[in-house]
Amino acid sequence: MPRTGILLFAHGARDPNWALPFEAVAQRLRARAPASSSQSNNMPPEVTLAFLEFMTPDIAAAGDDLAARGCTDVSVVPLFLGAGGHVRKDLPRLMAELAERHPQVSWHLCPAVGETDILIQGMADAAWALAGSASPRPPQG
């Protein structure tokens, strides 16, 4: 049976704590997947997280892993706030390399999450809540 995959793609950083929110996103997707697949006969999508630099796995290793797990249709979701050079230039090149190595897999590039209305609204809500909960600070001097 064909499998689908979701490849989350983040920048990466030297500090391992930087990745914690992205790992939480992957975990929440994995937790959501069985509930959505139970409504049909499809298997839940495989979810993996990859990084551009400083962290592992990189997108090549993550893509190889999804292909090895039998995924034939993979959505690549950039966990970037905007579609800068990494999303517009680096990511398409990296996906072309994956497609060359795994021609049996359809790779689909999604928009950067930061450019979606739901995330923009979420950031606005979070900023509003955080600013509203900030206690006044005495002047520095």
Q: What is the CATH number of the domain that holds 66?
A: 3.40.50.1400
Q: With respect to residue 107, please indicate whether it lies within any of the assigned structural domains.
A: yes
List residues bridging with 80 in a β-sheet: none
- Tokens at 78, concatenated: 């950039």
Q: What is the pLDDT of residue 39?
A: 43
Task: Examine the pLDDT at 13 and tell me if it is beyond 90.
Answer: yes
Lowest mean pLDDT among 23-27, 82-86, 97-101: 82-86
Range(s) of the domain holding residue 90: 3-133
Residue 105 lies in a domain: yes
Supply the DSSP symbol for 104: T
Sequence-separated (6 or more) residues with CB below 8 Å from residue 107: 63, 74, 76, 95, 98, 99
Mean pLDDT throughout 119-131? 95
pLDDT at 83: 81
Chain mean pLDDT for the chain: 90
CA-nearest of 80, 110, 109 to 94 is 109
Residues in the chain: 141
Domain count, the chain: 1
Q: What is the pLDDT of residue 35?
A: 56
